[in-house]
Structure 1
Amino acid sequence: MADEMALLVADVFEAAGLLRRSGEGLAAAEGQTQARWQLLSVVSDRSLTVPRAARRLGIARQGVQRVANDLVREGLAAFHPNPDHKGSPLLGLTPAGHATLQRITARATEAHRDMTTGISPQEIAAARDVLRRLVEQVRRHQDPDQAGRQIP
């Protein structure tokens, strides 16, 4: 089992790298980066503070702040007052940001269709189920107190 796990880890890293490069290409076609695409997506449904967006993305707040500032400068996002915390404004998308996200998402949907030709939706769902279970096992192994908690 340990050898199979090592091979799975290698396969996941390979897939992640390929998907990351593919995502960069999809975002670049709209003049964006994958980091900007991810942040646009995270704040697309509701405005969030930069620290909360960073937690959802699982990356450092400072990096998210830089990307947020870039999106604001480009007119794709805007900071709004936060009634719960005056020092931590909410980041939300502008109409231009929603339009950009929609175009990138449409490109990604088409790319995903092409990438999964010959793989059934049931196979994708089964792979996702195994990966989610594995993620939960890894979380339990790393920090038993955090297992089962979802990042809001």
Structure 2
Amino acid sequence: MPDEMALLVAEVFEAAGVLRRSGEAIAAADGQTQARWQLLSVVSEEPLTVARAARRLGIARQGVQRVANDLVREDLAVFRPNPDHRGSPLLALTPHGRRVLDKITRRATEVHRTLAADIPVDEIIRARALLHRLVERVNRHEGDGRIPPG
């Protein structure tokens, strides 16, 4: 009997890889990378410190800092003073950054509609719910020591 959980994990990794390649192509149409797109997106709701953005993205702070510096250099984002911590400025979108993010997001929406055209919405909703539950369980098990933190 196959280990269905192991097969699911393998499928998730494969899906992440092909979706990452697709995301790179979508972002590249506007001269961006997926990493830049993700960071623009994560600070689009509210300005965040680099450390908080890194936690939300689940990646190393140093990598996010490099991308943030690139976004600032290209006037896609700006560092603003942080009233809660002088040493950790907040990264916020500029109007130019908002326009670039909106263009990328519109293109991604078109691609997603094409990819999901023949997949019933309820299947997508159930898949999202399953992945959400799985992420919560992994986080909970890491927190109680049953899974070594990554």
TM-score (norm 1): 0.91
CA distance in 2, matches of 1:80, 1:142: 34
CA distance in 1, matches of 2:94, 2:139: 36
> Which structure 2 residues correspond to residues 1-152 of structure 1 after superposition, within 5 A?
3-144=3-144
Deviation of the 1:109 alpha carbon: 0.3
CA distance in 2, matches of 1:54, 1:142: 18
Deviation of the 1:67 alpha carbon: 0.2
| Percentage identity across paired residues of the two chains | 71
Q: What amino acid does structure 2 have at the position aligned with 1:86?
A: R
Q: Deviations over 1:20-50 (max 9, x none)?
A: 0000000001100000000000111111111
CA distance in 2, matches of 1:24, 1:68: 17
Aligned residues: 145
Deviation of the 1:142 alpha carbon: 2.4
TM-score (norm 2): 0.92
Could you tell me which runs of 5 or more consecutive residues in structure 1 were left unpaired when the two chains were aligned.
146-152
Q: What amino acid does structure 2 have at the position aligned with 1:41?
A: S
CA distance in 1, matches of 2:82, 2:126: 41
Deviation of the 1:120 alpha carbon: 1.1
- Greater mean deviation of Cα atoms: 133-142 or 40-49: 133-142
What secondary structure sits across from 1:48 in the alignment?
coil
CA distance in 1, matches of 2:143, 2:47: 30
What secondary structure sits across from 2:97 in the alignment?
helix
Runs of 4+ in 1 over 3 A off after TM superposition: none
Could you tell me which runs of 5 or more consecutive residues in structure 2 were left unpaired when the two chains were aligned.
146-150
Deviation of the 1:111 alpha carbon: 0.4
Q: Deviations over 1:50-69 (max 9, x none)?
A: 11111111111111100000
What secondary structure sits across from 2:14 in the alignment?
helix
CA distance in 2, matches of 1:62, 1:5: 32
